[in-house]
Amino acid sequence: MNTPEKCRVDRWSNRLLRALPREPLALLEQDLRQVSLTQGLVCFEAGKAIDQVYFPLTGMISLLVATGDGEMVETGTIGCEGAAGLQCGLGKSYSYGLATVQIPGNFADRHSWLNRDLRHAKWGFGSQVAQQKS
């Protein structure tokens, strides 16, 4: 992994970031960094807290779970259409499986950003949940 750099993410590189309105994207860009990740790098481990979100720009992340006999099975992939680790925006979350870099490339990432920023913003997940409870 290269040394992370602060970056102004090209919103067209990741479709999820591309879909965000200007205000939330500007908020995220304040703390996003661009990193180059190598194949096999572990993003999340089973049973461990998820505190980082990865937006693939050119690479891909594999989601894997262990079977009863210890075999690993790929259950999903995340490429430039999404992000890995978004569930931490709903509060403390733990990984049910293993998330690893399957295709090396560039990723935008942010450590613990959702809990601090989006849950309390007028357009974030927290406000939508509060409206549904009312």
3-18 pLDDT, tens digit each = 444 444 565 689 998 8
Q: For the chain, what is the domain count? A: 1
pLDDT at 91: 81
DSSP 46-108: TTSEE-EEEEESS-EEEEEEE-TTS-EEEEEEE-TT--B-GGGGGSSEE-SSEEEEEE-EEEE
In terms of residue numbers, what domain contains 67?
Answer: 5-133
Which CATH number fits the domain that encloses residue 121? Answer: 2.60.120.10
Q: Which segments in the chain show pLDDT lower than 50?
A: 1-8, 115, 117-120, 122-134
The residue type of 78 is I
